[in-house]
Structure 1
Amino acid sequence: MVRAVKEFLREESASGLAILAATVVALIWANAGLDYDGFWSTELGPLDLHHWVNDALMALFFLVVGLEIKRELVDGRLQSPRTAALPAVAAVGGVLAPIVIFVALIGGGEGLDGWAIACATDIAFAVGLVTVLGDRVSEGARVFLLAIAIVDDIIAIVIIAVFYAEGVSALWLLAAAVLAIALWWQPRLWIPLAIALWIAVHESGIHATIAGVVVGLLLPVARGEHVQHGLHPWSAFVVVPLFALANAGVDFGGGVLSDALSSRLTWAIVAGLVVGKLLGISGATLAALRAGGALPEGMRRSELAGIAATAGIGFTVSLFIAELAFDDRALVDSAKVGIFAGSVISGILGVLALAVASRRRRV
């Protein structure tokens, strides 16, 4: 298990660099007059390229997420209710506080549908950042952040399924349920059943990526570990960077940047990621510790603020929710600017706080 965790952390660190590179390319592409939006709108069969990435390829990403959640619940950090309680409480705090701050700042105005954007933690960027810091961050703190991110993913999946579904078809949903039962009954046929399940979920009105999570949770642990081992590099180094390439491009010309900087939506997202995650995770964790909880072995309390700030790097899932929340391109662009700014600020604050904590330890 320890070896699997270390391998997972290494891949997430490298994936973070790949996502960063794809983001830079997307921004250059979108601002170089090369018709970024036109390319991703190209029709290819029943979907355009953008939807092939967001609906189909991202289902593989969520399949890996589902497999990781299943492994942690059955044979990992979330197996014991006692050890799972603290990161679960921290993650809930890190979801609720950004929502409260976002709603308070946005009011009842334009952009309210994006209330969930600031809830997410990007596991690749966040874990990658603390891994790059090396032994300045304790192993316990890394495990704590990873566990928070996993619980955060569970909450994000529920939010997407419940609040961002449109025109749900009971018939297709029934077909998806039948296919899910068949997958549980015959996991050896998981590939054709997973494809059929994706089609049924897509047609049901629930976002098709949820099919990936369902498959991950239904596969037996032994088979799931084999599938995860094979798919995780593809998810980390192909799927998620492609998602960043297809979604991170914002053309800052034509007043887009100035409009975003004057938009209440942008600053509500920044505040949710930076302030909401920091206060929510730190506050919930401290409350749980006073109630008798305990930090993971080796983690110092002085590292808590740095870990909480780092969790404000929302990026991948935040971008994903922004695309689901808005049809208005101007709102999507403002949301992306807020996600970029909030994630960068959170990352800087996290590094500084963890560096200060490390210095205090060595003095």
Structure 2
Amino acid sequence: MNNKKRSLFKNLEALTSILLIFLTLLALIINNSSYEIFYDNFFFNTYIVEDFNVHSFVNDFLMSIFFLLAGLEIKEEVLYGSLSSFKKASFPIIASLGGVIMPAIIYTYFNLDSKYMIGVCIPISTDIAFSLGIYFLFSKYLQPSLKMFLLSLAVVDDLISMILIGTVYSSSLNLFYLSLALLILTFLYISNKFYKIESITFYLMMGLLLWYFVHLSGIHSTLSGILLAFVIPTKPYKKRFSPSYYIQRNFRSINNLIIMPLFAFANTGINISSNLNLTNFPSVFLGIYLGLLVGKPLGIMIFTFLSNLLKITKKPSDLNWTSIFLSSIVCSIGFTMSIFISEIAFANSEELMAVARICILLTSFTSMIISSLFIKTFKELHII
């Protein structure tokens, strides 16, 4: 990647983080003003087709594009990048496992044997956009290798979250539509593997069919994005670049500047002045807040330190423990994926969804502030 492309990517990630914050605040302002009715009417009372409103379009369809791009990124990292060998992948994978397991344990501690256990996956995720946004905002003070560690950790985190979304949060299966989805998937695999089809239009049109059948099958429709990513070529056959490259290049700006900010705007509209009472759900609030803010850093540090001590894996020589600790703080920003999972987990309770979203917002903003303060402090001490 040349310097110009690096600069554009850096600016895009930073801009995405700014847009996410701005539209989150805007949604909160609108929903605590006289304009709340317009927000609700647009997202929840405007239907594209029967039983499929604008909010569903954002969460179920547009977010499938988000997962497609995330899936392609994960696939390329596994095949050619930082996750392509055990030696390269072991340290960030173990870090990610710690960052998933410890928040789940903390949430379970507060919510075991309660009806709120369905939210256990909310605090396990890392927001790639915000995490890299923090990195790029302070990149001149940070080691370049920290970005790859942070990206690898977040990618594995997202992969785990995607698997859980497709299993834990899927409704009863419709085997007929599931069979049609698998048939489409098999056809796409054969088209890639044996016929070496490189048409972007072909994969995207078949991807629409795949999304439709997955949506009707009872599995959460966003999983179609991941499934589609698995069967899209990542190496060119005849063209200069692969279909994966073209899709990522053409959709990255749309995803970062439209889809993710729109998702934030559509899902953080909380009326704080209503009858919402956080004390009604203290276990949910504490489970998510402490799971993300404490569980993430604690899990990452414990798992990486012990695995390095026991020689299960080895810490990269160009990263010191201060940098890894800083990464663990940044990873407690769950935002996009955490909000997405809370929408699914607590779909039957508006009040629970609102509590979860407020908690995620508070945690994300707290993490960003702590990360910024730590970077400033460590920079002055010359230990990063």
TM-score (norm 2): 0.90
Instruction: Give the distance between the partners of 1:5 and 1:283, measured in 2 at CA.
Output: 33
Partners of 1:182 and 1:193 within 8 A in 2: no
1:5-53: CA deviations, max 9, x gaps?
A: 7754442222111111111111111111321333211212131010000
- Give the 3 Å change call, closer, same or farther, for CA 251–77 of structure 1 in structure 2: same
Alignment match, 1:14: 15
1:72 to 65, 72, 77: 77
Alignment match, 1:328: 349
Task: Indicate whether 1:200 and 2:213 are aligned.
Answer: yes
Instruction: Give the distance between the partners of 2:365 and 2:317, measured in 1 at CA.
Output: 29
Partners of 1:260 and 1:337 within 8 A in 2: no
2:364 to 343, 355, 362: 343
Instruction: Give the distance between the partners of 1:112 and 1:2, measured in 2 at CA.
Output: 47
TM-score (norm 1): 0.95
Alignment match, 1:219: 232
| Cα deviation, residue 202, structure 1 | 0.2
Instruction: Give the distance between the partners of 2:186 and 2:7, measured in 1 at CA.
Output: 33
1:86-123: CA deviations, max 9, x gaps?
A: 00010011000000000101232342211100001010
| Cα deviation, residue 299, structure 1 | 2.2
Alignment match, 1:270: 289
Larger deviation: 349-358 or 228-237? 349-358
- Give the 3 Å change call, closer, same or farther, for CA 169–273 of structure 1 in structure 2: same
Alignment match, 1:112: 117
| Cα deviation, residue 296, structure 1 | 3.7
| Cα deviation, residue 220, structure 1 | 0.6
- Give the 3 Å change call, closer, same or farther, for CA 5–96 of structure 1 in structure 2: farther
Instruction: Give the distance between the partners of 2:187 and 2:316, measured in 1 at CA.
Output: 39
Task: Indicate whether 1:317 and 2:337 are aligned.
Answer: yes
Partners of 1:139 and 1:299 within 8 A in 2: no
Instruction: Give the distance between the partners of 1:6 and 1:83, measured in 2 at CA.
Output: 26
- Matched letter for residue 21 of structure 1: F
Partners of 2:278 and 2:285 within 8 A in 1: no
Alignment match, 1:126: 131
Instruction: Give the distance between the partners of 2:64 and 2:79, measured in 1 at CA.
Output: 22
Q: How many residues align?
A: 362
Instruction: Give the distance between the partners of 1:9 and 1:349, measured in 2 at CA.
Output: 21
Correspondences of 1:1-363 after superposition (within 5 Å): 8-34=9-35, 35=37, 36-41=39-44, 42-46=46-50, 47-186=52-191, 187=197, 188=199, 189-221=202-234, 222-256=242-276, 258-259=277-278, 263-292=282-311, 293-296=313-316, 298-326=318-346, 327-361=348-382
Instruction: Give the distance between the partners of 1:323 and 1:185, measured in 2 at CA.
Output: 35
- Matched letter for residue 40 of structure 1: F
- Give the 3 Å change call, closer, same or farther, for CA 261–144 of structure 1 in structure 2: farther
Partners of 2:322 and 2:383 within 8 A in 1: no
- Give the 3 Å change call, closer, same or farther, for CA 294–353 of structure 1 in structure 2: farther
RMSD over aligned Cα atoms: 1.9
| Cα deviation, residue 361, structure 1 | 2.1
Larger deviation: 350-359 or 162-171? 350-359
Corresponding residue SS for 1:164: coil
Corresponding residue SS for 1:251: coil
Which structure features the higher share of helix residues?
1
Partners of 2:64 and 2:222 within 8 A in 1: yes
1:324-358: CA deviations, max 9, x gaps?
A: 00110010011011101111222222223333332
Q: Give the share of equivalent positions with the same residue, in percent.
A: 29
| Cα deviation, residue 288, structure 1 | 2.1
